[in-house]
């Protein structure tokens, strides 16, 4: 099981997938690798489904959301005979994904046929890979709209993946007292409160979101 949402540091060691696959082969049992997040494009410190299968795992499990960026679902890849066996289990009927989930998953996976497109259009991948200069430009635009200040910050991935990864980012800083009304707004805007400032991290915004975030700040100030 991949430690997708925590890390053990210090004097620790764990076998590789290839080493476990060799043990499983000698014992005649299948090796199931639960990746948790399941990246389909190369990301630092995160194994991909392809890597696991190439290393000898018989089945690989991961989420359809998180790093994949699709609907909440469970995905199993691997040896055809084992996947078919899972499909015939009585629990399959109770746990199977519905048509809407499958349609959303198909739409998301279609983006991965062109990795460059996936990095642009899958929100979590865009936020993970966007250059700091682009984030800063967005923060400057938002700061101008709300009379805020641009502040350098660090974004953390969280959400069940890459627990130690820190991304250089830029935020628009406004008055601390705006944090609570922003959270209570419609739509809610969740910010970071630090050193007496309310920070709107612009790595989590798209260019189209800036005007909506500015309107939310203006609405809170007018109350």
| Residue in 102, 52, 32 with CA at minimum distance from that of residue 74 | 102
Residue-level pLDDT at 40: 86
Give dist(CA 30, CA 34) in Å, integer.
13
Spatial strand order of the sheet with 149-156 comes to 149-156, 166-175, 197-201, 192-194
What is the model's pLDDT at position 9? 78
The predicted structure's pLDDT at residue 206 = 93
Helix or strand or coil: residue 85?
helix
Per-residue pLDDT, 160 = 63
Nearest-CA neighbor of 138 among 189, 210, 199, 212? 210
What pLDDT, on the 0 to 100 scale, is given for residue 42? Answer: 79
**Residue 192 CB partners (closer than 8 Å, separation 6+):** 153, 171, 198, 199, 201
- Whether 17-125 and 130-221 share one fold: the answer is no
Sorted by where each begins, the domain ranges of the chain are: 17-125, 130-221
Q: What angle do CA 192, 205, 123 make, to 5 degrees?
A: 115
CATH 3.50.50.100 is held by the domain 130-221:
no
Tell me which fold the domain 17-125 belongs to.
3.40.640
**Confidence (pTM):** 0.77
Tens-digit pLDDT profile for residues 6-54: 667 788 888 899 999 999 999 999 999 998 887 888 777 778 899 999 9
Rounded to the nearest 5°, which phi and psi values hold at 121? -105, -20
Reading the chain (223 residues) residue by residue, the pLDDT tens digits are 666 666 677 888 888 999 999 999 999 999 999 988 878 887 777 788 999 999 999 999 999 998 899 999 999 999 999 999 999 999 998 989 999 999 999 999 999 999 889 988 999 899 999 999 999 999 999 999 999 999 999 988 765 667 677 899 999 999 999 999 999 999 899 999 999 999 999 999 999 999 999 999 999 998 8
Contact 109, 102 (CB under 8 A): no
Q: How many other CB atoms are there within 10 angstroms of residue 35's CB atom?
A: 26
Q: Could you tell me which of 223, 54, 213, 52 has the C-alpha nearest to residue 138?
A: 213
Work out the angle between the directed axes of helices 209-221 and 132-146 (0-180°, nearest 10): 30
């Amino acid at each position: 099981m991949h430690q997708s949402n925590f890390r053990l540091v210090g004097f620790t060691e764990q076998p590789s997938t290839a080493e476990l696959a060799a043990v499983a082969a000698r014992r005649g049992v299948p090796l199931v690798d639960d990746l948790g997040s399941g990246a389909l494009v190369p990301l630092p410190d995160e194994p991909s489904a392809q890597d696991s299968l190439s290393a000898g795992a018989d089945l690989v499990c991961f989420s359809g959301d998180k790093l994949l960026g699709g609907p909440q679902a469970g995905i199993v890849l691997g040896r055809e005979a084992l996947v078919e066996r899972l499909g015939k289990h009585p629990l399959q009927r109770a746990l199977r994904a519905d048509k809407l989930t499958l349609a959303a998953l198909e739409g998301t996976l279609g983006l991965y046929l062109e990795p460059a497109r996936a990095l642009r259009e899958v929100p979590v991948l865009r936020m993970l890979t966007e250059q700091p200069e682009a984030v800063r430009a967005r923060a400057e635009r938002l700061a101008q709209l709300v009379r805020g200040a641009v502040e350098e910050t660090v974004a953390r991935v969280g959400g069940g993946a890459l627990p130690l990864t820190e991304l250089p980012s830029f935020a628009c800083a406004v008055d601390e007292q705006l944090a609570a009304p922003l959270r209570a707004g419609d739509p809610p805007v969740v910010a970071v409160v630090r050193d007496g400032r309310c920070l709107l991290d612009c790595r989590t915004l798209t260019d189209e979101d800036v005007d909506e975030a500015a309107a939310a700040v203006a609405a809170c100030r007018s109350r």
